[in-house]
Structure 1
């Protein structure tokens, strides 16, 4: 029950109990003091005057009796003037005595005793009057008898009544004095008992406050110190169900919250994105932001993985196409080399034909032989030309295949560039997510500031405790010696309040340390953002390499188009050479039929051979140009291979980086 009360209510109940004990003890002391004061007042106002008046009355009675004895003696001596004086004096004393009797009766302390003495006085006064009458009548013996013998019973009765009045008054004063002493002693015992009870209650309250406030705060301070050192594996001790218990529960939730965030961050740092970070509730802005960041990062990494796999496939395709282009380039180079050899052989044959024609002009007798050699040369030229045409057809097919490969390479490079653009966009989104994480960490710093509210609540509790201690010290000062022990308790409560304020300051410093850790987290996020920017730079360079590759492939395509045009020209020249070779064969046949026409045909053949020589020279130049173009194409294909290899390596690195995350 006590542990469920708040600190303010505990302090208030403690103050109420202590003040109640002091109020009861003070009330009893006041009642005892009032009773003693009434008794003392009664003694002073009634008993003491009664006792004094009784003593005075006794003295007056004795004085009256002595004056009457003197009166009787004066009568006996017949000194009538002296007797008259004594009687007058006796009458004055009697009047004073009667007044004292009335005063005693008015006090009302001992009515029976006063009445008994008044009755005895009347009897005695009656004998005094008879004595005076006897003296006035000069009956001296009767006067002496009345004063000495007859009034003895009345004198004894008056004396006994006076003694009874004095004794009863003395007893009443003694009894009431003893009552006053008893009340004072009881008041002293009550004050001592109340002081002892107050001290015990104060010590008990001090022990309970230490156990319920100071000890839990010290334990929470140690937990806070561990949190400031980054130790989130601590166990929050159980605390009473008051403000310290609420504070302990808040610390327990804070530690659990930090542990969940730590586990989620550790899993994300190790590349495990299979489970979403937990949230504390719908108002958990940081948790919701982490969940959103985790989801977006998961989506981006999934897209990056897909893009990376596609880029690797495209890079592999580009590398395959580059290898095929290199092989085709080698085939083209071989075909061009063979065509160059065939062109050289054709040029040699034409040179031989020209020499034969010159010899035909010089010696007609050698026409038959020249015609045979011409026929053989033409046959060889036709065979060579046929082989060259076959090689040209193969080269044309290879060039067409290279054009197709080049087109496919351009398409693959274009797709790779588009995938790289998507990768750059994914990297940009990752940078945005990183910025969001930095914002979330800053919100964590703002969230940690909310703990300042708890610190201010503790500070308010400490201030309120200090104020209660001050009020208790004031009440203790008012209570005087009776509140001295309560003053000690108030001082202990004030010391606990100061200690609570000091612990509050320590917690405030802990919050500042947490905020510094948040700043370090922001720096780490910034470094991660710089790493993302570096990845963007690498991706940008990759895109530039793809652009260069696309440009190189375009150049290769242009070169291949030039090769195709050159091949077409060579095919056209080969057709012309074939036609001319057919004309030479026809001319050789005509030479065999008619020798007369040989001279004219020889001139035509010479011109034809010269034309063939010119065509063969053009063909040789075309072959040289094609050979140079083939070398350029081979160099471009080699560059394409290197670019494809670089692209494949970059794609592998990107794929390995993305595959390190488990989605």
Structure 2
């Protein structure tokens, strides 16, 4: 078979390989398509079962809710009028019968639906759900056990308990004149049984919807089957492609590799190598042509071998003549001949001459660099010394500036203390100004009060004189009354017995007149004493008024003097404040100068360091120049070049 393939043309072989490479993947794709369609059919049936289970669970949930509502309506209808039993009403009887029938129908429906759900849609046991169970066992196995446990709890415990409690409530409602409390208690028991039942069945509905969602989505089972088929198809395709590739490699690539190996052996000088390719295809024709070409090449090599030996003898002669150049002898000249190597010898002679000129120029440049480096080193050494002196002077100046800054800081502190004292004196002066103003105002009020008091004392003296006149008038009246009383007593004595009563009255009047006279005399003495005191007070008030006037003038003069003193103190305080500001500015300037001097010192030190480093680099450059001179001294020059080099130095 392989012989027939090798005898086949390369184009036909490649065409058949490409056809097989195209047909095999088509077959694989068809197989994968059928597998995928089968998977979709299985998942469609599973989705239909899941939808039916969801619809049945939702209908059962609706039956449960309607059942509870019917029970509540049954209870409310029986006890419609404020807990009064109305079971004997004909309309109510029809409604009650209808509700009773509805409850029984809903009980029957829910029992049948729950049993049907368990038989047909329980994942763990129902044959109908085999396809769903297979999918969920891969994608979500927890749903199977959760559905089984929840459904088992409902059918074995929660639904029988609720049905029993509901039946007891219905039986109690059917009985005539059942107490409302008993019926209400039974209703509450039924409601307590209904709450976990409805919660569990809602859980069944949620699980069924989750199953439907998981089935709708592409899960691990479908992906696994598709992946398995895809992997098998890929492996089969890869195997077919590898087989085709192996045949192509065996019949086309391997002969080409042998030809490539042959060319590599030929490139390495193995002229005895030949290609042995079986078959009668294009590669065999190329191999035969290459063998013929190698035979011709061997003949050409044998012809050029003699020419190579002659050329090698000439090259060895040239090498022996120019070998001294490698040791630095530039005086050597190669022999120029008329053959091909004559041009090479002439070029070599020209190169040696130019190399000698280059050595001369290098020596001259090295000498100039050495001289310049020495001068630069001397100048940089002087520059470093000057920099050191400058750094010392800058350090001294910086210390002086720092001492000046300390003095300025002390002066600023003294000025600050003086400013605080001036501010305090200014405040005291302001307080004194206010106190003097208050004293002047007080003296003015005292002067005014003294003048008012003096006027009132004069007025009091006038009033005391008027009182004295009144008292004198009273004394005169009392004297006249006494005389009248004496006359009346005489007349009463002359009248005898008839005038005794009048005589007693006249005696009383005389006695009162005497007393009034005495009191008037006493008042006169008191008024005289008061007038004397008022006169003394008036004189004293006049003296006080004069003294007060004098004190007011002195106080005003003192206030004027103190006002001038206060103005001087305030002016002094403003001047001290100005001095404090100037001292603060001077302190700030001194600090700035210190910082600037420190920066100049740092810059100078950095410059000195850089100069020292540059000096070290120049010394290193001088050493390198010396080494360069020593290196170029190894070259031996011709006499004319030696003369030029010595004259340059």
Comparing both chains, which one has the higher relative contact order based on Cα–Cα distances under 8 Å and sequence gaps of 6 or more? 1
Normalising by the smaller structure, the TM-score range is under 0.3
TM-score, with length taken from structure 2:
0.26
